[in-house]
Structure 1
């Protein structure tokens, strides 16, 4: 690895060494000619004599002998425990009787990724992907959210009073939040609908496709899980009518649809549970402003701090 101001690259080292070894130049003359010190010229000339051109490459600064390095048996134990139990350096250190920093170095030495970058179920590295253009793939999913009774739930009234308020109204049921999220830009469209039946999902897809089209995005593919509504002919016929290719995740693999799953977690943290609401109507009234903030103003860490709208051509400039 050469820095940009290095006096000698691999080619320069070879020229210097040949001048000394093959052409018989004195070391001082060669050092002056190539603008390096006498010892540097001697080092490269000596390596060329012993190893030829292969000896002119940089060597590792790692020592040849490391008498205090962690024994191989302990390293193997750390690696085995990590793969079997998927635990971090602190817990590995406690089990193996070593320092947490030592456990971290062992994991790094064996090229084991950090836990945040691995799949929880299998321990395998997460393979991240992103489509090249808006509309190439849109993730669709439904989040089931309990409705708030008039007067407030347990977050406003406390557990006992909130439960009693809900019981007086014979429960309030659920809100079904249908979301379509663009894979490339993370631009999101969400509706609060009364159920998750096939006809409801098909109607949502039509409106979502029209909403994206109004923003210059043509939906080419949709990815859903294997819920009942998404496997019926109603869904397939709607996709065919709109010219959209349907895709489904592998069974028991919600990570495949992880972008919209992560959006729903953000939605819960920053809108649904962000503050106490006294009714479902109050919470729903706050949603359009939050979604506008998410799409046009909120920096998204998954796309290097940009806003979703900034990844759609001219969309952020058209928004007031």
Structure 2
């Protein structure tokens, strides 16, 4: 098969499409013939040598994919060759085939395009596990989403609205805010022009920035609020006012998804299938895709994401 290889840590130009050995299914694993994958921020960090894959993961980039089951290993439950699926990966999506534990595989929702399904597993599992399983957002509460126009943000807006919450987003342009409002957001804040902590009080905050926003996030929380930090685009360190946190009886959660054990990922995947997939089938939420790029041109897709002008997901497609 062919896969995207990293010749050396660096910019998008270090990515190359080369022939590599085909994966074989281990016990409890499925081989997926990959229709498409998607670009995530973690891929950019791994390309730069700043985010190593967890032990046992394929060396290739790619945290999610869609495709067709090609082979099944021993002890696989509920899947057979020919099934149309998408999957949450620890790596390996930028390839023509990938091996993945069956617990992390999901059938594609009936109303979702098989290519667009490639951009769902990472964002759906991230949003659902953090906003709903960890922070327990409830109907009538307010969710603040940083990076509302990102892949994670565009799904977080739709899911929170589908469950009856008020949603406020931050974004870096009027155009991005307008797109978030179209998806159902109640309010948008241009972080270049305004201090969100002066404008909103939220029950739950989904944060991709990290250290730089820590003090503002705590200020923006309501009493009993929950801050969930899932990214560090603004650095790993910030000053936490414990007095403010205590007075508000608030909590701060830091989480990752990629390095979790298979059983934990499997529990999240099953909850997504039970609670999120029906919303796609009902037409209540939808994938948001900015561009489809041939997988062999992954460098171009990385440049699109690094430029930061996209809304939703950038997909990588295979011609099998």
What TM-score, normalized to structure 2? 0.27
Larger Rg: 1
